[in-house]
Homo-oligomer: A and B are copies of this chain.
Amino acid sequence: MNKYEIIANSIEQYIHDNKLEQGTKLPSLDQLMKEHNVSKSTITKALDTLEKRGAIFQQRGSGIFVRRQRREGYVSLLTNRGFTADLKEFNITSEVLKLERMKADDEVKMNLHLEGNEEVYYVERLRRIDNDILCIEVSYFPVKLVTYLNNEIAEGSIFNYLTDALKFNISFADIYMHIDELNDIDAKKLELKQGNPALFLEQVVYLATGEPFDFSKITYHYKHSKFFVQATNY
């Protein structure tokens, strides 16, 4: 981790630990520089990182303020996608229902920019949040990028494995969502009834090189999934 990331995390932890409310004024840039004993450019980078994360907002001339005001029980839509090391508030566990190497079908090829007979790891997982069923997640990873995967890894965080062990530089994701009624098969897996409402989410996640390495289809349990998104106007 870079110095500015360590400082950003420490400021975020401070906001969290002290339960600072939205709009609370934080120390000035100069004060933060002295406190953390770093250069102006490092503290500026740390603050920009926190602003992008939605933890603070900076108002020219008047100061730095706490932005985050999270409702209890809501999971960050983006964090949950394997993004950003947010402060962990939920215990999310994964049960691997199936894991195998297979040839990519047309839909998978299109989403992962694959050709010919290229292979993918297929992983189907049942994910729980604090012991409640959160979702069924079906993921495809191209073998040419994700060279190895097993049950033990898939029971934990595949994203942590990709960044830590395979040194993936994960950069961005496209997420598609719609709402519909559950079919019989998904309903059984989620321990719900056919016709119950569900959120269907598809995501394609990319490396900094622009190569897609993860195509996932996720079906959320409507009683156990609440999301928040922080939007910033550009």
- List residues of chain A with CB under 8 Å of any chain B CB: 22-23, 49, 52-54, 57, 59, 62, 65, 67, 69, 71, 74, 77-78, 81, 83-84, 113, 170-181, 196-199, 206, 208-210, 220, 222, 225-234
CB-nearest residue of chain B to A23? B210
CB-nearest residue of chain B to A230? B174
* Contact in complex: A229, B229 (CB < 8 Å): yes
8 residue pairs of the A-B complex, CB under 8 angstroms, read: A22-B210, A170-B233, A171-B232, A174-B229, A177-B226, A178-B226, A179-B198, A197-B197
* Contact in complex: A228, B174 (CB < 8 Å): yes
Contacts of A175 in B (CB 8 A): 228-231
Contacts A78-B231, A172-B232; is A197 near B222 (CB within 8 Å)?
A: yes
Contacts of A208 in B (CB 8 A): 57, 59
